[in-house]
Amino acid sequence: MACGLALSLSGTAAAAAGVSARDDRGVEIRLAQPPARIVSLAPNLTEIVFLLGRQDRLVGVTRFCNYPSEASRLPKVGGVVDPDVERIVAARPDLVLCTTDGNPKERIKVLEELGIPCFAASPQDLAAVFRAIETVGALLGVPDRGRREAASLRARAARIAGRADNKPAPRVLFAVSTSPVIAAGKGTFMDELIRTAGGVNAASSYSGRYPRLSVEDLIAAAPDVIFIASMAGVERFPPEVTRWTEVPAFRDGAVVTLDGDLVTRPGPRLVAALEEVSRALAGWRARGAPGRGTAAAGATRRRP
């Protein structure tokens, strides 16, 4: 767990004031003044820079940075796992925002050896995303904006959590692939979204983060609601899977497609995803919680 985004210092956003912050590697990043040329090496960090209103400082992003739409028009410096060191250096950044669980360590090290400060953020849950927004805000010289945006997102998430209190909890499955069926298990953002919205992750009995489910696994998991986290446009389950109306979600047509970017990027839009999940769960409750009583297979299922 990387939750120690302890931000130090940073008073006001006065132009001459130095800024500093400790990143997820425990490295203290000090800048004499807020950065004027920023390279972002992950789509979620690009989204955070836009949220903080500092997009005019971005001089390089990855080819996956597509939100907001202006981000796609910024100069590209490669991908997340294959950032192009030479292009990054050529962009003359005074700060690189990077991640520890996507960007290769060696390339970040090269950048640091060339004297470019690199700030690494890898939030692992919603709370850490909010803290990262505050920390990056401090580092970019807009600490108040950072705190304000984080507080607003926290309030939206808390509202969702409050809405689910003492309500029946549906079994929810997040499918990151439909053929084969691959679910989001414990330790994923999608698992946290399900729990925060008041559901039970139907794939939580599996040990891996992304277990592959056979049709029979799916019947045993008995999800009431299924979300498809679509990575490549609209995705559907193949007919030989959906014909199994023993699965409550297929029987009731409770299959919702979400933009995969929303739920796999630890950025501000996780809260938007949370609201969509919450809406679908409210719809299930409004139908009178149809899965209950008939989904006995779910209650008595076993795993070898």
Partner 1 sequence: MTRPELAAAERGRRAWAVIVALAGALAGAVALSVTTGPVPVSFREVAEAFRHAFAAEPWPSAAARVVLDLRLPRALLGALVGGALSSSGVAFQALLRNPLADPYILGVSGGAAVGALVAVLLLPAGASLPLPLCAFLGAALAAAGVFVLARRRTGVSRERLILMGVIVGAFLNALIMMMVALSPPGKIPGAIYWLMGDLSLGTLGRVGLLVPYVAAGTGVLFLLSRGMDLLLLGDEAAFQTGLPVERVKTAVYLTASLLAGSVVAVSGLISFVGLIVPHGARVLVGSGHRRLLPAAFLLGGTFLVAADVLARTVSTSGELPVGAVTALCGAPFFLYLLRRDRGKP
Answer yes or no whether residue 207 interacts with partner 1 by CB under 8 A.
Answer: yes
For residue 216, give every residue at least 6 positions away whose Cβ sits within 8 Å of its Cβ, in sequence order, or none: none
Answer yes or no whether residue 293 interacts with partner 1 by CB under 8 A.
Answer: no
Within 10 angstroms of residue 68's Cβ, the number of other Cβ atoms is 12
Tokens 């299924």 belong to residue: 226
CB of 200 to partner 1, least distance (A): 17
d(CA 163, CA 198): 8
Q: Tokens in use for 36?
A: 């004027």
Q: Is 186 exposed, middle or buried (0-12, 13-18, 19+ CB in 10 A)?
A: middle
H-run or E-run covering 96: strand 95-98
Answer yes or no whether residue 263 interacts with partner 1 by CB under 8 A.
Answer: no
Answer yes or no whether residue 299 interacts with partner 1 by CB under 8 A.
Answer: no
Nearer to partner 1, 106 or 240 (CB): 240
Nearer to partner 1, 66 or 152 (CB): 66
Site string for partner 1, 220-239 (x = CB under 8 A): x---------xxxxxxx-xx
Q: What are phi and psi of 174, to 5 degrees?
A: -105, 115
Number of residues that bind partner 1 (CB under 8 A): 38
Answer yes or no whether residue 251 interacts with partner 1 by CB under 8 A.
Answer: no
Sole window of 14-22, 141-149, 192-200, 208-216 interacting with partner 1 (rule: CB under 8 A): 208-216
- Could you give the count of Cα atoms lying within 13 Å of 198 in the half-sphere of its Cβ? 24
**Which of 5, 59, 95, 213: binder of partner 1 (CB under 8 A)?**
213
Q: Tokens in use for 164?
A: 């689910």
Nearer to partner 1, 73 or 303 (CB): 303
Range 280-291 burial, b when 16+ CB lie within 10 A, else e: bbbebeeeeebb
For the segment 143-182, give every residue that binds partner 1 (CB under 8 A): 177, 179-180, 182
H-run or E-run covering 140: none
DSSP 118: E
Answer yes or no whether residue 219 interacts with partner 1 by CB under 8 A.
Answer: yes
Answer yes or no whether residue 183 interacts with partner 1 by CB under 8 A.
Answer: yes
Answer yes or no whether residue 130 interacts with partner 1 by CB under 8 A.
Answer: no
Answer yes or no whether residue 292 interacts with partner 1 by CB under 8 A.
Answer: no
Q: Which residues of this protein are in contact with partner 1, per CB under 8 A?
A: 177, 179-180, 182-183, 185, 205-208, 211-217, 219-220, 230-236, 238-240, 244, 246, 260, 297, 300-304
